[in-house]
Amino acid sequence: MELNFTVPCLFGIEGLCADELKRLDMKEVRAENGRVLFRGTDADIPRANINLRTGERVLLVVGETKADTFDMLFEGVRGMAWEKYIPMDGEFPVKGHSLGSKLHSIPDCQKIVKKAIVEKLKAKYKVEWLKESGAKYQVQVAIMNDIAVLYIDTSGTGLHKRGYRPQGNAAPLRETLAAAIVKLSRYRGRELVCDPFCGSGTIPIEAALAALNRAPGLNRKFAAQSWAWSLPKIWDKAIEEAKSREYSGKYEIRGGDIDPKSIEAAKENAKRAGVSEQIDFKIAEATEFYCQTPGGIIMTNPPYGERVMLQKEAEDIYRRFGARVKGLVDWKMYILSSHTEFERTFGKKATKKRKLYNGMIKCDLFMYY
């Protein structure tokens, strides 16, 4: 059965996500602002969920409809083939968003969509009541410029929740963004990698997973695994396929942070991810955490300093860190920061910059070659 999918992703990394899907041999991959579209089969649901490093979730597209009025939204949604995906006992809560459209009341839109799906399933299953006591089929409605697209979320918890980080520091870096930074660095497991502001260890862990070519979704469950029409054998096959592509070896990956609690959390997270042998975590100031060996990569997410006093502290860190890394030979640096004066305080203009988002925080990835 041919299906349409949408993978939402953080702004700025759509191309990386599209490249991942192409490498998984998905069909008709197309990147748009904040999302990537592709075609596939039911067997591609586990493959995409288990293997994607930079996508936020995998949404199955049920259909789209013009939605100038609530009546149009109701009729359009009721006309979609919900019975192909949701069984008679399926639970199907609805959530959504609206942008630049006449229908801007999200609670009202959710009620209309819910009612339309109920009416369609009642008619198809010839029942007067839907118990919704079975597996969960999370419905999403996205209305943009008066066009409503209806999805069912195959992932459940977002794909950035790999399962290795139940705890984090005060301002954790999203796993999907850390994976994007690793991809942009073109790290292949050959160079020494250092993160001198490692926090709870997200960048070093994602670097280790990439070096091992280990699928990030192997240690967690997904919503579609409990669906009636999603057979266990296709999940087993996708897991075995992912495991067969793993590498073995020892890699030089280091993480440092001045906070002992962060280092303790990083070590625990690496252990849960199965990469503790690949990473050396140490309590250390960033100005001391570097290596004289020529040829390495610094990938890091230093403090942003969102308030005035914290900004001054962050600028002082940037100055001292910038002065310290001047002595490195043949190193590349990928530094993520939202600070508008980063280059000035760091003391060097970036070779290249790329706009990215850490959650809702607009940042730049400053790249030094």
The per-residue pLDDT for 187 is 96
Task: Answer yes or no: do 40 and 94 share one domain.
Answer: yes
Task: Answer yes or no: do 64 and 203 share one domain.
Answer: no
The per-residue pLDDT for 167 is 59
Per-residue pLDDT band for 307 (boundaries 50, 70, 90) equals very low
Task: Answer yes or no: do 131 and 262 share one domain.
Answer: no
Mean pLDDT computed over 225-245: 96
Task: Answer yes or no: do 105 and 184 share one domain.
Answer: no
The per-residue pLDDT for 294 is 79
Asked if residue 162 lies in contact with residue 219, where contact means CB atoms within 8 angstroms, the answer is yes
Task: Answer yes or no: do 141 and 34 share one domain.
Answer: yes
Task: Answer yes or no: do 265 and 149 share one domain.
Answer: no
Task: Answer yes or no: do 149 and 200 share one domain.
Answer: no
In a domain, 63, yes or no: yes
Task: Answer yes or no: do 137 and 259 share one domain.
Answer: no
Asked if residue 278 lies in contact with residue 251, where contact means CB atoms within 8 angstroms, the answer is yes
In a domain, 32, yes or no: yes
Mean pLDDT computed over 213-231: 96
Of 37-46, 261-270, 355-364, least confident by mean pLDDT is 355-364
CB half-sphere exposure, 53, CA atoms < 13 A: 28
The per-residue pLDDT for 306 is 54
* Beta carbons within 10 angstroms of residue 102's beta carbon: 13
Q: What's the mean per-residue pLDDT of the chain?
A: 93
Domain count, the chain: 2
Per-residue pLDDT band for 169 (boundaries 50, 70, 90) equals low
Task: Answer yes or no: do 52 and 189 share one domain.
Answer: no
Mean pLDDT computed over 15-38: 97
The per-residue pLDDT for 305 is 57
CA–CA distance, 195 with 229 (Å, rounded to integer): 44
In a domain, 22, yes or no: yes
In a domain, 170, yes or no: no
Asked if residue 155 lies in contact with residue 47, where contact means CB atoms within 8 angstroms, the answer is no
Asked if residue 119 lies in contact with residue 83, where contact means CB atoms within 8 angstroms, the answer is no
In a domain, 231, yes or no: no
In a domain, 74, yes or no: yes
The per-residue pLDDT for 76 is 98
DSSP, collapsed to helix, strand or coil, labels residue 244 as helix
Asked if residue 257 lies in contact with residue 283, where contact means CB atoms within 8 angstroms, the answer is yes
What pTM was computed for the model? 0.94
Asked if residue 115 lies in contact with residue 74, where contact means CB atoms within 8 angstroms, the answer is yes
Task: Answer yes or no: do 345 and 196 share one domain.
Answer: yes
The per-residue pLDDT for 218 is 95
Residue 267: pLDDT over 50: yes
Mean pLDDT computed over 245-262: 93
Of 108-112, 148-152, 168-172, least confident by mean pLDDT is 168-172
Mean pLDDT computed over 41-46: 98
Domain-terminating residue out of 121, 153, 185:
153
**Distance, C-alpha 334 to centroid of its chain:** 19
Residue 308: pLDDT over 50: no
Structural domain containing residue 324: 175-213+247-368
CATH of the domain at 207: 3.40.50.150
CATH of the domain at 92: 3.30.2130.30
In a domain, 39, yes or no: yes
Task: Answer yes or no: do 191 and 330 share one domain.
Answer: yes
Task: Answer yes or no: do 107 and 202 share one domain.
Answer: no
In a domain, 86, yes or no: yes
